[in-house]
Each structure stands twice: as structure tokens, then as C-alpha cells.
């Protein structure tokens, strides 16, 4: 199944709220003929564009190839949440990797969020960044763990930006009876993901990176002087960076074995009235809840509710995304059960078995970062800096992440879809009846 074509019109953005509210972009040239450069980057999402930006800043000759449009993948379609930490909490990471490594991983994730904020501030990227993400617990029994974790983060990691919320405190921010309490994270935040990505593109191009669109890479040949092939160009370079995440497909089998693509879906309601806003989100914080098939939502700048959620396994998007999202939306906010959706869309992200990102060096001169497991706004952006540093000989963080044990998904790429269906159905079922 070719995820670059199966659910979308090639070369065109999906009909998302984000594409509709972003200034029309000039179409960059398609790559043609023979091109020489220092670094060739494949993929025009946060990972690829941030790598281009950080390398161009250091004076390297950089070419980036995007199969469709810049931000066409998950980077232009996501929930916009800039989350702190890795996908798993620090208690789990300490158990998996030991305290020392867990602390280093926290430092990486912490720098990832700071890097996003710094890039926005330094380059005046107009993407509506707002601080605050609420983690809402839909089971009362999760609250003990949440409270302990906030205390641990304060004591062991010096984190003062997390606040435990009991039921009443949570309802002050998120007035939904679906939740029993949660945690407010004021270091996290939310933004317009496509505007943010295109802001990074401007910085990369100003720095001298050459960026091509509608230039799908069909093969990468490693070796001392790798070659990257599209249907109309051949790029010769010193190093290749692969940042295709959930859309990698068969381009690099090693990534496909370690990073499973899964689809996520979002609906944008019509703009809410001031009373409706008060009935869903009293402060402009984003929310991510504790369901296995997570609900995540926030207000847009024009006060629509952007609600992500719903279950659909298999690689084709369901025909009726709206009906699928309406189910969890009406559980959380029954008063919005029949609200009009002006936009619905889906996108593909990459997850790993461990939920840790997958950084890898393939045949020496090909590097990749993917599998951000739903944390890619911050981690994908920072991956670009980590990859750029590694190319410049500062590979401490790259080596730390590449050394994390990474299990391949059993059965290879052909069996991923049925396997995913079984696993997700089981977990979703447990969530429903637990
Ligand atoms: C619905 C949804 C909601 C999400 N919500 C959040 C959230 O709230 N917070 C968060 O942190 N993360 C979220 N994520 C995940 C996040 O969007 C991703 O982790 C992140 O965008 C990954 O960036 P990337 O650059 O690695 O990959 P992508 O943005 O997917 O970019 C990969 C690019 O590579 C291109 N490409 C692929 N193959 C080729 C090829 N052969 N040749 C040339 N180009 C190629 C694709 O066209 C694509 O543009 C969400 C994802 C989805 C789908």
C-alpha cells in the first residue's frame, strides 16, 4: 500500500482547516537533471526542513526533496500540540533505561520544546503559539499516578510547570463530565502546525537551502558518495538524511520494519459562539486525554474546536471521517453532538514498538530520524538539529538516541496492517470495558 498516494491527491494539500487558513504558497520547482550538494534531505516535514535549516545555517550546501508539497505529511495535518517529554513518562523511562539515561532523555525532550519556542521567537513565525496543555484523566483511578508523577517531576527533575488538577480544578478549565481530574502542563503549548512548518521553510531557504517539491525519491544508493534518485533528477552528495516518517514505505526497509504508520483524524467545527467556547474550554489550553485511542483538541485562532480522535485501523482513510469523530466528541461534549464540521481530514504518523523515536545510521552515509509516536512537533523539529549536529561531528545526542534498544515490528511491512488492526482493537476494547 503506497501511503503517499492511497488517501490523498498527489501534489495537493488535503482539505484541512490548516491548508484553508494558510497563505497560498508558490510551488517550488521539481528537481531536474544532475545536482551536486553536500547533504540531500528526503522529506519536507519538520524533520527534513529543520535539518535543512540547521545545516544551511552552518554554510553547508543543502538540497531538500519533497514528494508533494512542503508540510503535506503529518507536519501540516497534526493536532498542533507541542508536548513536553517523550511519549512515555519519566517513571517508565527510568524503568526501561535506568535513571541516568532517562534523565538525558528528559533533557533532550526539554530542549526540543525550547527549540520550537526559540525558532518561533527568533524568526517571528506567525503560527499562533499558545502555552498550556491539559492532560485529562477519564478514569478516577489514574489520578493517584498523575499526582505522584507531578511530585516526582518536581522533586527529581526540578520541573515546576506541572500542576495536578482535581476534578473541580479540571472542570474550571475543561468543563466536561467525562473527566475526573488531570495535569496542567504550562511548558507545553499549541500552534498552527502548517504555518509553523512553512515558517521554518522560509528560514531554511533564506539560509540558502535549495528546496524542491513534487520530487519523489524512488531510490537511495549508499556508499562513499551516495546518490538519490527521482523520476527526473539524480542528486549526488556526501550524506543523505531521510525524514519521511509514516510515509517512508519501501524507500528504506530498515525504517519500515521499525516504524509503523498509523492514521489519525481531526475535525474542525464551525466557529463556536462565546457561550459555546465557555462550555468547552474556558482557557485557551489544548487537551489530550487518557483514552487509549486518545482524544486531543484545542481551539483554533478563530474559535473552532479542532477535535482529534476516533478509531480506524487499516491504511485507507474511512469514507466518513466526520461520523467517526462525532462519536468521541459527543462523549466528551454531549452538547456538541450535532455541531457542523467545516473540515475533516486524516494523516499518517509513525510509531515504534517502544514509543521512543527511531534514530539510525544506515550504511554510514545515510541518517534518519522517525517514529516520534505522536510527539513529532517538538521532537521532529529537534531531530533536525540533532541530525545537523551529527553531520558536523557532534553526535553525542544522535548516538544516545540511536543506541536505545529498538525492536522491529514482527512480520515485516506486509503484516503490519493486520497486526495493527488486531493490537489496536484489543487495546481499544480494554479501554472501553476497563
Ligand atoms: C492527525 C495527526 C495528529 C497529530 N498530532 C500531533 C500533535 O498534536 N503533537 C505532536 O507532537 N505530534 C502530532 N502528530 C505527529 C506529528 O505530526 C509527526 O510526528 C511529525 O509531523 C513528523 O514529522 P516528519 O517531518 O518526520 O514527517 P512528515 O511530516 O510526515 O513528513 C514526511 C514528508 O516526507 C515526504 N516523503 C515521503 N516519502 C518521500 C519520498 N520518497 N520522496 C520525497 N518525499 C517523501 C512526505 O510527502 C511528507 O511530506 C500527529 C500526526 C497526525 C497524523
Minimum mean pLDDT range among 126-135, 166-175, 184-193, 401-410: 401-410
Nearest CA to ligand 1 atom 21: 75
Q: Please, what is the average pLDDT of the chain?
A: 94
Q: How far is the CA of 134 from the centre of ligand 1 (A)?
A: 23
203/25 Cα distance (integer angstroms): 15
pLDDT at 330: 97
- Alpha-carbon distance values, 229 to 1, 48, 139, 236, 253 (Å): 21, 17, 51, 9, 16
Q: What is the pLDDT of residues 18-33, one digit of tens each?
A: 999 999 889 999 999 9
Are 260 and 254 in contact, with CB atoms under 8 Å apart?
Answer: no
Helix or strand run (H / E) with residue 339? none
φ and ψ at 4, to 5 degrees? Answer: -80, -15
For residue 284, the 8-state DSSP code is S
- Helix (H), strand (E) counts: the chain: 13, 19
Q: Is 217 in the pocket of ligand 1 (CB under 6 A)?
A: yes
Nearest CA to ligand 1 atom 11: 375
Instruction: Kindly report the pTM of this predicted structure.
Output: 0.96
* 3-class secondary structure, 330: helix
Q: Is 74 in the pocket of ligand 1 (CB under 6 A)?
A: yes
Cα torsion through 76, 314, 219, 258, rounded to 10: 90
Q: How far is the CA of 197 from the centre of ligand 1 (A)?
A: 11
pLDDT at 420: 62
pLDDT at 434: 44
177/270 Cα distance (integer angstroms): 23
φ and ψ at 109, to 5 degrees? Answer: -65, -35
Minimum mean pLDDT range among 171-175, 323-327, 430-434: 430-434
Q: What is the pLDDT of residues 188-207, one digit of tens each?
A: 999 999 999 999 999 999 99
Site to probe by mutation for ligand 1, drawn from 4, 43, 261, 345 as the one with most ligand atoms within 8 Å of Cβ, is 43
53/209 Cα distance (integer angstroms): 7
Helix or strand run (H / E) with residue 136? strand 130-137
pLDDT at 425: 54
Percentage above 70 pLDDT, the chain:
94
* 3-class secondary structure, 267: strand
Kind of pairing, strands 210-212 and 62-65? Answer: parallel
Closest CA to 138 of 170, 163, 162: 170
Q: Is 308 in the pocket of ligand 1 (CB under 6 A)?
A: yes
Kind of pairing, strands 341-351 and 210-212? Answer: unpaired
Q: What is the pLDDT of residues 380-434, one digit of tens each?
A: 999 999 999 999 999 999 999 999 999 998 766 665 665 665 565 555 555 554 4
Are 380 and 47 in contact, with CB atoms under 8 Å apart?
Answer: yes
Nearest CA to ligand 1 atom 33: 43
Site to probe by mutation for ligand 1, drawn from 17, 214, 229, 247 as the one with most ligand atoms within 8 Å of Cβ, is 247
Q: Is 60 exceeded by the pLDDT of residue 379?
A: yes
Nearest CA to ligand 1 atom 22: 376
- Alpha-carbon distance values, 328 to 266, 294, 296, 332, 405 (Å): 11, 9, 10, 6, 35
pLDDT at 105: 98
137/147 Cα distance (integer angstroms): 11
More confident site: 433 or 153 = 153
* 3-class secondary structure, 127: coil
320/285 Cα distance (integer angstroms): 28
Nearest CA to ligand 1 atom 4: 78
Q: How far is the CA of 334 from the centre of ligand 1 (A)?
A: 31
Q: What is the pLDDT of residues 219-231, one digit of tens each?
A: 999 999 999 999 9
Site to probe by mutation for ligand 1, drawn from 7, 76, 78 as the one with most ligand atoms within 8 Å of Cβ, is 78
35/24 Cα distance (integer angstroms): 28
Q: How far is the CA of 89 from the centre of ligand 1 (A)?
A: 22
Nearest CA to ligand 1 atom 20: 376
Site to probe by mutation for ligand 1, drawn from 18, 312, 377 as the one with most ligand atoms within 8 Å of Cβ, is 377
Q: How far is the CA of 4 from the centre of ligand 1 (A)?
A: 11
Cα torsion through 407, 410, 414, 415, rounded to 10: -130
Angle between helices 193-206 and 376-391 (to 10 degrees): 20
258/275 Cα distance (integer angstroms): 46
* 3-class secondary structure, 128: coil
Nearest CA to ligand 1 atom 25: 45
Concatenate the DSSP letters of all residues of 182-247 into one string.
EEEEEEEEE--HHHHHHHHHHHHHHTT-EEESS--EEEEE-SSS-EEEESSEEEE-SEEEE--GGG
Three-point CA angle 262, 267, 273, nearest 5°? 155
Concatenate the DSSP letters of all residues of 360-397 into one string.
EEETTTEEEEE--TT-HHHHHHHHHHHHHHHHTT--HH
Which single residue is written with the C-alpha cell 530542549?
111
Q: Is 51 in the pocket of ligand 1 (CB under 6 A)?
A: no
Site to probe by mutation for ligand 1, drawn from 10, 245, 264, 352 as the one with most ligand atoms within 8 Å of Cβ, is 245
Nearest CA to ligand 1 atom 2: 78
- Alpha-carbon distance values, 364 to 3, 94, 391 (Å): 27, 30, 11
pLDDT at 259: 94
Question: Once rounded to an integer, what is the mean pLDDT over residues 277-293?
Answer: 96
Q: Which atom of ligand 1 is the closest one to the Cα of 249?
A: 38
Closest CA to 68 of 238, 200, 230: 230
Amino acid at each position: 500500500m503506497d501511503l503517499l498516494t492511497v488517501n490523498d491527491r498527489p501534489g495537493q494539500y488535503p482539505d484541512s482547516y490548516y491548508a484553508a487558513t494558510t497563505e497560498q504558497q508558490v510551488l517550488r520547482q521539481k528537481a531536474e537533471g544532475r545536482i551536486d550538494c553536500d547533504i540531500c534531505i528526503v522529506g519536507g516535514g519538520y524533520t527534513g526542513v529543520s535539518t535543512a535549516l540547521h545545516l544551511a545555517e552552518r554554510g553547508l550546501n543543502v538540497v531538500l526533496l519533497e514528494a508533494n508539497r512542503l508540510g503535506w505529511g503529518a507536519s501540516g495535518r497534526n493536532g498542533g500540540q507541542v508536548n513536553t517529554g517523550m511519549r512515555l513518562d519519566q517513571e517508565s523511562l527510568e524503568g526501561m533505561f535506568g535513571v541516568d539515561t532517562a534523565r538525558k532523555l528528559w533533557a533532550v525532550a526539554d530542549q526540543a520544546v525550547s527549540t520550537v519556542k526559540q525558532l518561533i521567537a527568533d524568526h517571528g513565525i506567525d503560527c499562533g503559539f499558545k502555552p498550556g496543555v491539559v492532560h485529562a484523566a477519564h478514569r478516577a483511578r489514574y489520578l493517584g499516578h498523575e499526582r505522584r508523577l507531578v511530585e516526582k517531576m518536581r522533586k527529581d527533575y526540578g520541573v515546576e510547570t506541572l500542576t495536578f488538577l482535581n476534578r473541580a480544578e479540571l472542570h474550571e478549565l475543561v468543563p466536561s463530565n467525562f473527566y475526573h481530574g488531570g495535569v496542567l502542563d504550562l511548558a507545553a503549548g499549541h500552534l498552527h502546525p502548517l504555518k509553523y512548518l512553512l515558517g521554518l521553510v522560509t528560514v531554511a531557504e533564506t539560509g540558502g537551502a535549495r528546496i524542491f517539491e513534487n520530487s519523489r525519491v524512488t531510490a537511495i544508493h549508499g556508499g562513499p558518495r551516495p546518490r538519490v534518485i527521482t523520476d527526473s533528477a539524480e542528486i549526488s552528495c556526501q550524506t543523505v538524511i531521510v525524514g519521511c516518517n509514516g510515509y517512508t514505505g519501501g524507500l528504506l526497509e530498515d525504517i519500515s520494519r521499525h516504524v509503523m504508520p498509523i492514521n489519525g483524524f481531526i475535525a474542525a467545527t464551525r466557529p463556536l459562539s462565546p457561550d459555546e467556547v465557555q462550555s468547552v474550554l474556558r482557557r485557551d489550553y489544548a487537551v489530550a486525554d487518557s483514552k487509549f485511542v486518545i482524544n486531543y483538541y484545542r481551539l483554533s485562532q478563530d474559535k473552532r474546536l479542532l477535535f482529534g480522535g476516533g478509531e480506524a485501523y487499516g491504511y485507507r482513510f474511512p469514507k466518513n471521517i466526520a461520523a467517526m469523530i462525532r462519536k468521541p466528541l459527543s462523549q466528551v461534549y454531549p452538547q456538541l453532538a450535532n455541531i457542523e464540521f467545516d473540515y475533516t481530514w486524516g494523516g499518517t504518523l509513525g510509531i515504534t514498538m517502544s514509543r521512543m523515536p527511531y534514530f539510525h545510521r544506515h550504511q554510514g552515509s545515510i541518517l534518519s530520524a522517525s517514529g516520534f509516536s505522536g510527539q513529532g512537533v517538538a521532537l521532529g523539529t529537534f531531530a533536525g538539529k540533532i541530525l545537523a549536529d551529527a553531520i558536523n561531528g557532534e553526535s553525542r545526542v544522535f548516538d544516545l538516541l540511536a543506541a536505545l534498544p529498538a525492536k522491529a515490528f514482527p512480520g515485516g511491512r506486509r503484516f503490519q496492517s493486520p497486526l495493527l488492526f488486531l493490537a489496536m482493537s484489543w487495546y481499544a476494547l480494554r479501554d472501553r470495558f476497563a
